[in-house]
Amino acid sequence: MSERALRGTRLGATSYETDRGIDLAPRQTVEYACQNGHRFEVPFSVEAEIPSAWECRFCGQEAVLLDGDEPEEKKTKPTRTHWDMLMERRTREELEEVLAERLAVLRSGGMNLAVHPRDTRKSA
């Protein structure tokens, strides 16, 4: 091409290649549906392994493959509460002993509130 033919074009922004004479890879279209009722199709190569779950393109929820196997449940650890972790470190008898000691300190007035006085001033 001469310089004159390229003048005024956005070089790099536009491709001058065509799809003529190119054989695309064979494809299959798979349909997914999410809990919100959205249905959409995703193209895959014929050779590709089809995932049983896909993110919904409308709402972002997990969509499930229609006419396919259910996705495998991921194994998760049960959530550990504060009580569970406490019971790993101490027995119930030890905890009752600690509680009795702390209650005795509180009842005897052994905690010095002057060390941590509350601010009783009114905010202006």
The pTM assigned to this predicted structure is: 0.44
| Tally of residues, the chain | 124
Is 34 assigned to a binding site?
Answer: yes
d(CA 64, CA 74): 15
Three-state SS for 11?
strand
Q: Where are the domains of the chain?
A: 26-63, 78-110
- Of residues 115 and 38, the one with the higher pLDDT is 38
pLDDT-derived band of residue 124, with 50, 70 and 90 as boundaries? very low
* Angle formed at CA 13 by CA 12 and CA 19, multiple of 5 degrees: 90
User: Regarding predicted confidence, which is higher, 24 or 57?
Assistant: 57
User: Which strands make up the sheet holding 39-45, listed edge to edge?
Assistant: 39-45, 27-33, 62-65, 53-55
- According to the annotation, is 66 in a ligand binding site? no
Ligand-binding annotation for 26, yes or no, is: no
State yes or no: pLDDT of 32 exceeds 90.
yes
Taking the CA atoms of the chain, what radius of gyration do you get in angstroms?
A: 34
Burial of 1-19, coded b for 16+ CB within 10 Å and e otherwise, reads eeeeeeeeeeeeeeeeeee
Q: Is 95:86 a contact under the CB 8 Å cutoff?
A: yes
Domain 26-63 -> CATH class? mainly beta
Per residue in 44-87, pLDDT (tens digit) is 999 999 998 899 999 999 999 987 666 677 788 889 999 999 99
